[in-house]
Amino acid sequence: MKKIFLLGLFLSTAFVYAQQTGTSSSPWNIKELYKTPAMHETDCCAVVGMRSFFYEGIVFKTKPTKVFAYFKAPEGTPPEGGWPAVVCVHGGGGTAFPEWVQAWVDRGYAAIAMDLEGHLPIGGFPNREWHEQAGPPRITTFGDIEIADREQWFYHAVADVIRANSLLRSFPEINPRKIGVHGISWGGVITAAVMGLDNRFAFAVPVYGCGFLYESTVSNFERYFKVMTPDQLNAYKTKWDPSLYIPSATVPSLWYIGSNDGSFSLNIWQRSVSLVKPAPMLSIPVTSEHGHIWNQPEIFAFADMMVKNGKKLMQIGNTFIEKNRVTAKIASEATLKKAVLCYTTDSGAWQNRNWVQLPATLNKGKVSAALPADAKAYYFNITDTDNLRFSSAVTIMEK
């Protein structure tokens, strides 16, 4: 037994060391990315009340890169230990959004938002202005899979987010133990990978984006993976898909997606969620809404719970069948207002399925509802008296 224990300890230590130095299957040198990057103030794209600067990214084709960013902290004296902070990771076609930074500042956080596609926040997508020291562009969905790892967009995007965390941690007004990451769409994909690579974050919120992209039923992913050669697909699966890194995450997380999201299908999202330990919080409104939307109250409430001693949010257990009813246990200090069972009897593409919302019963720390015999998938949505809505995991009954 002692030999088995020592072998397990050795393998565990070796994995952590390999992950930190970039010598495992991870292409990134995490130890290097944990170093504070140099920062260069700029008057470019100035926004009143915010700092605009470039921070140094990683090398691209033998040349150093720079990443444009906005930063702002709340006014006044920082709390003991410094302000909590958030790294804002935009989606496809996005940029460094000062409005996103301000949304977090208004809630008592410092925030940084950077451009991960080599642009300045001038003009609109797809005509934003390029800058000379940018890293590689994003080419469709891993359309650069054939070139060297260190020249691919996803490699740089992940690295630039980790470096943003390293930069924030160097600011004296920031509490380095209270920095979270909030990513939307492609930014959610990046966040899902980063949360398994950078264990310094205090919380993570991937919105829409997830792993297992090569199994998506949504055309904007499916069509690109279908035309990959076997070698290209294997390269993606073994280097870039977030499902490789999610199991290593230790950061508390909230995952948010609409039931009919048009970019990320619910099946691969749930499969990604199931890899997360400890169990994450979920929020799944019945909607197809998708975009650079950062005002969901559940996100700010979750962040407050993690780093500002905010109210404890409900914890929803796994669903189970009990007397022909689907049931889940709930732990909550908040007063719960209503619950619904969301279910679909449809098959086919997830983004096209109709979801029915059936009133559910809240009683003695449990939620339950009669489950229709022809349901193909289901989950609970539960709302408290502050109108915060959280969800159980999605149970998929079809193969």
Higher-confidence residue of 174 and 5: namely 174
pLDDT at 276 over 70: yes
- Alpha carbon 381 to its chain centroid, in Å, reads 20
- pLDDT for position 25: 62
Per domain, the residue ranges of the chain are 1-27, 34-307, 315-396
- pLDDT for position 217: 84
Please calculate the CA angle 164-132-40 and round it to the nearest 5 degrees.
40
Q: What is the pLDDT of residues 290-326, one digit of tens each?
A: 999 999 999 999 999 999 999 999 999 999 998 889 9
CATH of 315-396, one of 3.30.310, 3.40.1000, 2.60.40, 2.40.160: 2.60.40
Mean pLDDT to the nearest integer, 195-223: 95
- pLDDT for position 399: 66
Q: What is the pLDDT of residues 55-104, one digit of tens each?
A: 999 999 999 999 999 999 999 999 999 999 999 999 999 999 999 999 99
Query: Rounded distance, CA 12 to CA 9, Å?
Result: 5
Which contacts of 269-273 are long-range, i.e. CB under 8 A and separated by 24 or more positions?
Answer: 269/208, 269/210, 269/394, 270/393, 270/394, 270/396, 271/210, 271/211, 271/212, 271/215, 271/243, 272/192, 272/210, 272/211, 272/212, 272/242, 272/243, 272/246, 273/210, 273/393
pTM: 0.92
- Encoded tokens for 113: 């938002």
Higher-confidence residue of 139 and 322: namely 139
The domains spanning 34-307 and 315-396 adopt the same CATH topology: no
Instruction: Give, in order, the Cα–Cα distances in Å from 148 to each of 136, 151, 154, 205, 325.
Output: 12, 5, 12, 30, 53
Mean pLDDT to the nearest integer, 198-206: 98
Query: Rounded distance, CA 354 to CA 260, Å?
Result: 8
CATH class of this structure's domain 34-307: alpha beta
Query: Quick one: pLDDT band at residue 20, thresholds 50, 70, 90?
Result: very low
Rounded to the nearest integer, the mean pLDDT of the chain is: 92
Query: Quick one: pLDDT band at residue 196, thresholds 50, 70, 90?
Result: very high
pLDDT at 393 over 80: yes
Q: What is the largest CA-CA distance in the chain?
A: 66
